[in-house]
Amino acid sequence: MIPIHELLARIRWDPEFGKGKFELAYEDKVEHQLKRVPLERIDIESGQHFTFEAEEEDGTLHTVPFHRVRKVWRDGTLIWERHPGSKAK
């Protein structure tokens, strides 16, 4: 499994792979559930390697550590998954 930051870089910089609708799910530690967010509502600050900002449907912003990302979908198909406790290689 590739690290999540490498997958997000590929989505951003590989024009062919980056076509499509992407969503990711991160572990919400307050609500104890996965939050699924479209990639267009994710803001990754240039040079930031540890966190990103996720905008919920109600406009609320959350700072999310990359290690809490659990799943990524492309056009509705699961393309990446990390189980709790697993480490990226």
CATH fold of 4-81: SH3 type barrels. (2.30.30)
Percent over 70 (pLDDT), the chain: 93
For residue 81, the cross-strand partners are 71
Q: Is 32 left (phi over 0), alpha (psi -120 to 50) or beta?
A: left
With 0-12 / 13-18 / 19 or more C-beta atoms within 10 angstroms meaning exposed / middle / buried, residue 83 is exposed
pTM listed for this prediction = 0.86
d(CA 7, CA 88): 11
pLDDT tens profile 8-51 = 989 999 999 999 999 999 998 888 899 999 999 999 888 778 99
Residue 87's pLDDT band (boundaries 50, 70, 90)?
A: low
d(CA 21, CA 39): 8
Residue 86's pLDDT band (boundaries 50, 70, 90)?
A: low
